[in-house]
Structures are given as C-alpha cells and as structure tokens.
Amino acid sequence: MTMITIDQKIAEKLNDWTPSGWPVGNLILVIIAIFLSIILCGAIGIEREWHGRSAGLRTHLLVGVGSCILMIISIYGFPAVLSGDRRDVARMAAQVITGVGFLGAGAIVHKRSGGIQGLTTAATIWIVMAIGLACGSFNFILALIGTISILVVLTSFKKIEVKLNKHNPTIVITAPSEITLLDNILTISEKYDCIVQSINTEMIGTAENRLIQLTFQVIFNSGEDRLNDYVGELEKATNATSIKLLSHH
C-alpha cells in the first residue's frame, strides 16, 4: 500500500497545474520550498546566532537552502530523455548528507583542557540540512514539525542539561604549580561524597610564573545540589587562579 501525505497531495495537484502547457504549478512549488527552508532554517540559525556560536544565521541558511535546492535539482533537474527511463532521486540527497557531515565536523573543537566545543552547533548544521531536504522534497509539514521540535530542544531542554551537568560536571582548575592540587581535590571530593575521574594535568604559564591546569570530571553520589559549595571550597583550598565548568555547546 502506497502512503501519501498531505504534502504529497498538494505537490501532486500543483505539478498537474499546467495552464496553456506551462508548468506554472512546479514553479510555485519550488518557490514555496525555498522560502519555507529560509524561514525554518533561519529560525534555527537565529537561535545559534543569539547564543554567539561560530556557525550562526548565514551558515544555517546556506546549508538549509542549499540542501533544498539540491533536492529540487534531484527531482526536476534531470528530466528523463526516454519515457521509460527511471532514476533515483534520493541519490543526490545521500551525497548531501555525507558532505554536510564533514562540514559539521569542522565546527567541533577539541580543547587542550579536555573539553569539547561545537557539538550542538554541528548537530544543528546537520539538522538544517535535513530540513532543507524535507522542503526540497515537498514534505512541508515534516519540515515544520521538525523545526519546532529542534527549537524546543535548543531552548527548553537547556535547563534540563544544566541540571544534569550539575550532577557530573567537568571542571578545569588552574593554580600555582607549588600547590598539591590533586591531593586537595581528592580530600575535598571525599568530604562532599563525590568521585573524581578522567583526570588530565598540564603545565602552563611562563618560566617565572608556572601554573598547573587540572581537568577532571566529578560525580556527586547524592542527589543534593552541592556544586557551588564544592567549587567554592576548591577555590579556597587550592588558591586557584581560575575555575571553569565545561559544557558542550
């Protein structure tokens, strides 16, 4: 049984609209697809731009609209020379998915301190590609629902992510090299009933002012939110010059 969506019904009606033999319906369908991809992908790009990410509005628009255009080309751009010729319109879409995957990977930065930045932005670049393909294949309702879902995830779920990060945050602490940093961290962690793991140590600074930078993940065994007290005591005990909580943007 062939499944037909409302979008496909609309596309079918417009495709069949050829006044005086001119495919006006196709042109309207293409215009709707491109403008909808601009609106939907632009909405996600604005959210990234608002939060100051490296890939913002223009990048997301280019990826989304480009994917939409390539999908339209895949459908209309290679007319069959022979009436019995059959072609795979999904082949170009598969290549778009691969290509944008490499583009998204370029947005991910692995910091020397052990953190990773750009994961969410890479994911949004990939998702606007999917939204662009949905618009280009005239699955407008799917593209709209997908965009709303992604915006909800990027905005509302941020609060949930913050709460989860408080339970097992990654901390970067910088202190003078003469401080017994690890011993102090382990002592305080035992006091707060938490586990320290994934420890990474690095010497930084100048020869006159040597600093030790220690990156680690801490897991609190109790459900009580004691992160601020824990970080505050770390700062006092280690004479830290800086303490940062890492997150994946």
Confidence class of residue 248 from pLDDT cuts 50, 70 and 90? low
Neighbouring-strand partners of residue 215: 172, 200
Question: Residue 234 falls within a domain, yes or no?
Answer: yes
Confidence class of residue 223 from pLDDT cuts 50, 70 and 90? low
Structure-block tokens of residue 184: 């102090």
- SS3 letters for the chain? CCCCCHHHHHHHHHHCCCHHHCCHHHHHHHHHHHHHHHHHHHHHHHHHHHCCCCCCHHHHHHHHHHHHHHHHHHHHCCCCCCCCCCCCCHHHHHHHHHHHHHHHHCCCEECCCCCEECHHHHHHHHHHHHHHHHHHCCCHHHHHHHHHHHHHHHHCHHHHHHHHHHHCCEEEEEEECCCCHHHHHHHHHHHCCEEEEEEEEEEEECCCCEEEEEEEEEEECCCCCCHHHHHHHHHHHHCCCEEEEECCC
Question: Residue 184 falls within a domain, yes or no?
Answer: yes
Task: Give the Cα separation of 173 and 231 in Å (integer).
Answer: 10
User: Is it the case that residue 96 has pLDDT exceeding 50?
Assistant: yes
- Pair 50, 173 in one domain: no
- Pair 150, 55 in one domain: yes
Q: What is the pLDDT of residues 13-62, one digit of tens each?
A: 888 888 888 878 888 889 999 999 999 999 998 888 887 776 788 889 99
Residue length of the chain: 249
- Pair 127, 169 in one domain: no
Which pLDDT score is estimated for 2?
59
Which pLDDT score is estimated for 66?
92
Last residue of a domain, one of 102, 126, 155: 155
Q: Which has more pLDDT, 34 or 188?
A: 34
- Pair 12, 68 in one domain: yes
Question: Residue 62 falls within a domain, yes or no?
Answer: yes
Strand order in the sheet with 170-176: 194-205, 210-220, 170-176, 242-246
- Pair 139, 169 in one domain: no
Output the domain CATH number for residue 185.
3.30.70.260
- What is the mean predicted confidence (pLDDT) over 169-188? 82
- Pair 48, 170 in one domain: no
Question: Residue 217 falls within a domain, yes or no?
Answer: yes
- Pair 170, 150 in one domain: no
Question: Residue 37 falls within a domain, yes or no?
Answer: yes
The whole-chain average pLDDT of the chain stands at 80
Q: Which has more pLDDT, 198 or 46?
A: 46
- Pair 238, 173 in one domain: yes
Residue 186, classified by CB atoms within 10 Å of its CB into exposed (0-12), middle (13-18) or buried (19+), is middle
Last residue of a domain, one of 136, 155, 174: 155
Confidence class of residue 98 from pLDDT cuts 50, 70 and 90? confident
Q: What is the pLDDT of residues 157-170, one digit of tens each?
A: 777 766 666 667 78
Q: What is the pLDDT of residues 119-174, one digit of tens each?
A: 788 888 889 999 999 999 889 999 999 999 999 888 887 777 666 666 677 888 88
Task: Give the Cα separation of 148 and 128 in Å (integer).
Answer: 12
Candidate from 67-76, 112-121, 170-179, 238-247 with smallest mean pLDDT: 112-121
- Nearest CA-CA partner of 247 in 162, 185, 167, 189: 162
- Pair 32, 110 in one domain: yes
Question: Residue 233 falls within a domain, yes or no?
Answer: yes
- What is the mean predicted confidence (pLDDT) over 91-113? 72
Question: Residue 109 falls within a domain, yes or no?
Answer: yes
Q: What is the pLDDT of residues 73-92, one digit of tens each?
A: 888 877 654 445 566 777 77
- Pair 28, 151 in one domain: yes
- Pair 96, 206 in one domain: no
Which pLDDT score is estimated for 38?
94
- Pair 40, 121 in one domain: yes
User: Count of domains in the chain?
Assistant: 2
Domain that residue 220 falls in: 165-246
User: Is it the case that residue 112 has pLDDT exceeding 60?
Assistant: no
Question: Residue 160 falls within a domain, yes or no?
Answer: no
Last residue of a domain, one of 123, 155, 187: 155
